[in-house]
Structure 1
Amino acid sequence: MIADFRLLGQLRAAIGEVDVLPAAAKPRQVLALLAVRAGQIVTVPMLTEELWGEQLPRSAVTTLQTYVLQLRRRISTALGDPSGVAAKELLATVHGGYRLLVPPELVDLHRARALIERGRRALAAGEDRAAGLLLHQALGLWDGPMLVDVPKGRQLGIECLSLAEVRLGALELRIEADLRLGRHAELLGELTALTAEQPLYETLHAQYMIALHRAGRSGTALEVFRRLRARLVDETGLEPSARMQRVHQAILVGHPMPESVLLR
């Protein structure tokens, strides 16, 4: 089966060349949650909570069944299966819920997670170039905030928050790989924007300081530390971490910043 489910940006769902994405908001939520948990059972309570929160209508279960039926009809059309048997196998009813039986690699979210894990392992093994390529590939799957065009209840809201952190972690790893490969000058513009967007994120600031220092702009790197420290103290009452202090001290003494200093 050739299928493509995209969640990292606008929701997209196609089987073969046929779009199976419903137009109505709530069936889209159902499809999105099933695709997020591709291959796993999504229980009826999880789905009804996603759709209606704690204010369940009396017809919640029946209405959910209607949405599933609508999805199966679209899948049947895409599969050229007027009997609907194959659609019921693809979007299966199981004890207590439903399961979308598509291989995870057909869902961009799961492809991204797999690439990030491979990139993480490569970086840990010192395979910096391979790690950078894998992490660049993973991050390239994002086309904006996850499910930007889908209403989100509790379940999808949690998934989106989780994936935002996953993406930020992958970005941090990719920047580390690029720093190890000597691409500090190329990173300056990106890190300028990222630290403005994440004013309390210490790792990105440490990476920015290292890139600036290696580009011969140690004074600017020290100013980045000063601003971060002032903001941390003002907003959280905390001093920068020991890692940030080590990077700061290394810049003060003109340390060349070997890889052992990076994010350790």
Structure 2
Amino acid sequence: MVSEVPAGSDSPGGTAESAVTFTLLGPLEVLKDGVDYAPTAPKILQLMAMLLMRPGKVVQIDSIIQELWANKPPRSVRTTMQTYVYQVRRCIEQNKLAADPEAMLATKPPGYVFRIDPAQVDVFEFQQLCRRGRDELEARRFADAARSFRGALGLWSGPALANVNCGSVLAAYAVDLAEQRRAAQHLRIEAEIEAGMHRELVGELRSLVTANPLDEGLHGQLMRVLGRSGRRSDAMATYRQLRTRLTTELGVEPCDELQLLHHELLSAGDPS
């Protein structure tokens, strides 16, 4: 659906766009000097989200049509889409987001490419911080890893693409971003547990398991911090409550890891 655009002399000239940043981890925003210049028309915003999803890469026309109209494109779909592209370029020009709007949003068969540095999009920074956090976890630098994951999660201001009417392509992308956020949260808590922040995490994890009553990973983390905080009975009660929900609602037992942790708590062993 996308193809790489080789770096070279056809990159947009000037530095007008260097101060512009784009957010997808929450509402889509186009920020310059603290002011949001994102278009307000739903289809134009949807098109911009498609382009920002693949900065520096060609987004194919067929993919855009699928996103904007699904299986019911208008009769003049190509002309309508070209009008939307023109509106995005007009937004760039009117708000001085780039020296050359047609270079920033370039026509590149078989589609269009938004020629910006991926680092201008908050998703890039989020993923970069998550990679750093994983490397730090692997190196057992737990405090550093927790700091990196906190920084990554701090970039979020709500559900991904919160102000965009998502079609099938963007909806799938938003789900993927939500899963990345969930994984970062899990790893951040893991890093903080290993850094010795047991009692500090109890309240947060209780809140999280209340909001996610069938999430075995969160329940396991809560059981561990309770056990390490000297609250073995509370940890076992957490397991019993989860097991009741799983068997009643899904007809399954807790995963092997949780059963092993429960056995260790019953045996008064070290729950780590």
Q: TM-score higher than 0.5 here? A: yes
Of 28, 35, 38 in structure 2, the residue corresponding to residue 11 of structure 1 is: 28
Q: Distance in 1 between matches of 2:242 and 2:132?
A: 32
Q: Structure 1 residue 217 and structure 2 residue 234: aligned?
A: no
**1:159-214 Cα shifts (integer Å, max 9, x gaps):** 11111111010000000000011111111111111112222211111001011112
Matching of residue 36 in structure 1 with residue 53 in structure 2: yes
Output the CA distance in 2 between the equivalents of 1:76 and 1:16: 16
Gaps of 5+ in 2: 1-17
Selected match of 1:153 from 159, 167, 174: 167
Given the superposition, is the C-alpha separation of residues 180 and 53 from structure 1 closer, same or farther in structure 2, using an over 3 Å criterion? Answer: same
Q: Which residue of 1 aligns with 2:192?
A: 178
Residue 91 of structure 2 is aligned to residue 77 of structure 1: no
Q: What do residues 39-66 of structure 1 show as CA deviations (whole Å, max 9, x unaligned)?
A: 2221111111111111111122211111
- Between the aligned partners of 1:121 and 1:230, the Cα distance in structure 2 is 37
Unaligned runs of at least 5 residues, structure 1: 259-264
Deviation of residue 221 (structure 1)? 0.9
* Aligned partners of 1:49 and 1:154 also within 8 Å: yes
Question: Which digits, 9 at most, give the CA deviation of each residue in 1:219-248, with x for residues without a partner?
Answer: 111111111112222232221111111211
1:130 and 2:144 correspond: yes
The answer for the alignment partner of 2:201 in structure 1 is 187
Identity of counterpart residues, as a percentage?
39
Letter paired with 2:231: R
Match of 1:24 among 41, 57, 64: 41
Structure 2: which amino acid aligns with 1:48? I
Structure 1: how far apart are the matches of 2:139 and 2:252? 33
In structure 2, the CA distance between the partners of 1:16 and 1:90, relative to structure 1 (3 Å rule), is farther
Q: TM-score, normalised by structure 1?
A: 0.92
- Compared with structure 1, are the counterparts of its residues 152 and 238 closer, same or farther at alpha carbon in structure 2 (3 Å cutoff)? same
So what's the TM-score if we normalise by structure 2?
A: 0.89
Contact 1:18 1:78 in 2 (8 A): no
Q: How many Å separate the matches in 1 of 2:224 and 2:85? A: 52
Mapped partners of 1:183, 1:76: distance in 2: 50
How far apart, CA to CA, are the structure 2 residues paired with 1:67 and 1:20?
16
CA contact (8 A) 1:15 1:79 kept: no
RMSD: 1.6
1:122-153: CA deviations, max 9, x gaps?
Answer: 11121111111100000000001111111111
